[in-house]
């Protein structure tokens, strides 16, 4: 059974390749690979990938071999390409001023061999940029792609620090964006202030996805919100479950509140059940 390497390109796109020539490879080194229009440089992120997704690509002859480990000459070429990208960015902005729409250029990426040039931008709403693409192709004499990004992609490309004080997850290790829903915020008792659980991208924090399993498992031990119990000779309702501290917030009809531990709550319920069936 052959193993495949997973790489990520400078555009953020991922790809899978064979190491047929048995190069000594490891994560975080650059390799040169064949792409649709020539060859490009990519960073290895996984050296041993086996999945149904890859097997399907093999059947379709979509997986090829890496051509070589990036050489010093390739690194020098990449430096040249990066300088060219800065010049291209300035020219793009000048040409954009003549267009009837507004967009914010985020990143300019040349393929290593120069056969493709990709511009990543953000904008309010959809933009018909077909005429602009033709102008860009005429100016730069290569294949042009304009890619409108989402808020999450913008955050990944621009980078920054999250409220935890660390670099965004999407910049460091997160390769694929997971779906984060309002239900996750509800499960974790975080609906009271959505602004505090939203990232710079304007979407709910990815952290909610990481912690969802913990809260779902803990919730099995806790009562449902609104459950009625008799506490201190009063009818009380379960107002909130504090899964992290194993506490339960109770509220009465007169809005008087009490906090009990999960263990105390279970004892209260058990005692009431004993009285009910005695």
Asked whether residue 131 carries a pLDDT value surpassing 70, the answer given is yes
Q: Is the pLDDT of residue 1 over 50?
A: no
**Is residue 183 assigned to a domain?**
yes
Summarize pLDDT for 142-199 with one digit per residue, the tens: 999 999 887 777 777 777 888 888 888 888 887 777 788 889 888 888 877 777 888 8
Q: What is the pLDDT of residues 241-275, one digit of tens each?
A: 888 889 999 998 888 899 989 988 988 888 777 66
Model pLDDT, residue 14: 85
Last residue of a domain, one of 70, 96, 125: 70
pLDDT tens-place string over residues 39-89: 999 999 888 776 666 666 665 566 788 899 999 999 999 999 999 999 999
User: Are 109 and 171 found together in one domain?
Assistant: no
| 257 assigned to some structural domain | yes
Note whether residue 249 is domain-resident: yes
Confidence at residue 62, expressed as pLDDT on a 0 to 100 scale: 67
Decide if 178 is inside a domain. yes
- The three-state DSSP-derived secondary structure of the chain is CCCEEEEEECCCCEEEEECCCCCCCCCCCEEEEEECCEEEEEEEEEEEECCHHHHHHHHCCCCEEEEEECCHHHHHHHHHHHHHHHHHHHHHHHHHCCCCCCCEEEEEEECCCCCEEEEEEECCCCCCCHHHHHHHHHHHCCEEEEEECCHHHHHHHHCCECCCCCECHHHHCCCCCCCCCHHHHHHCCCCCCHHHHECCCCCECCHHHHHHHHHHHHHCCCCCCCCEEEECCEEEEEEEEECCCCEEEEEECCCCEEEEEHHHHHHHHHHHHHHHHC
Last residue of a domain, one of 122, 149, 176: 149
How many domains does the chain fold into? 4
pTM of the model: 0.65
Residue 263 covered by a domain: yes
Per residue in 112-127, pLDDT (tens digit) is: 999 999 999 988 888 8
Mean pLDDT of the chain: 86
Range of the domain at 184: 155-218
State the pLDDT at residue 2: 57
Identify the pLDDT of residue 87. Answer: 95
In a domain, 273, yes or no: yes
Considering 95, 130, 149, which residue would you say is the last residue of a domain? 149
Asked if the model's pLDDT at residue 227 lies above 60, the reply is yes
- Same domain for 16 and 59, yes or no, is yes
| Residues 83 and 145 grouped into a single domain | yes
For residue 223, being part of any structural domain is answered with: no
Q: Is residue 214 part of a domain?
A: yes
What pLDDT score does 79 carry? 96
């Amino acid at each position: 059974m052959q193993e495949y390497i997973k790489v990520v390109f400078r555009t953020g796109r991922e790809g899978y390749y064979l190491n047929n020539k048995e190069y000594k490879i490891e994560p975080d080194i650059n390799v040169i690979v064949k792409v649709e229009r020539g060859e490009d440089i990519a960073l290895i992120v996984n050296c041993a990938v086996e999945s149904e997704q890859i097997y399907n690509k093999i059947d379709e002859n979509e997986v090829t071999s890496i051509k070589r480990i990036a050489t010093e000459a390739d690194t020098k070429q990449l430096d040249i390409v990066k300088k060219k990208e800065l010049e291209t960015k300035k020219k793009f902005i000048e040409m954009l001023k003549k267009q009837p729409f507004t967009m914010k250029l985020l990143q300019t990426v040349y393929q290593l061999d120069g056969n493709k040039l990709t511009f990543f931008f953000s904008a309010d709403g959809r933009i018909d940029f077909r005429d602009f693409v033709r102008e860009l192709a005429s100016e730069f004499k290569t294949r042009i792609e304009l890619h409108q990004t989402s808020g999450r992609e913008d955050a990944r490309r621009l980078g920054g620090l999250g409220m935890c004080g660390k670099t965004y997850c999407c910049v460091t290790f997160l390769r694929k964006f997971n779906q984060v829903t309002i239900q996750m915020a509800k499960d974790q008792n975080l609906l009271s202030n959505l602004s505090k659980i939203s990232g710079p991208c304007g979407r709910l924090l990815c952290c909610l996805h990481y912690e969802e399993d913990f809260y779902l498992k803990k919730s099995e031990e806790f009562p449902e919100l609104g459950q009625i119990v008799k506490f201190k000779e009063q009818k009380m309702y379960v107002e909130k479950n504090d899964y992290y501290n194993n506490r339960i917030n109770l509220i009465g009809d007169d809005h008087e509140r009490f906090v009990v531990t999960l263990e105390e709550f279970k004892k209260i319920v058990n005692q009431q059940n004993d009285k009910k069936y005695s």
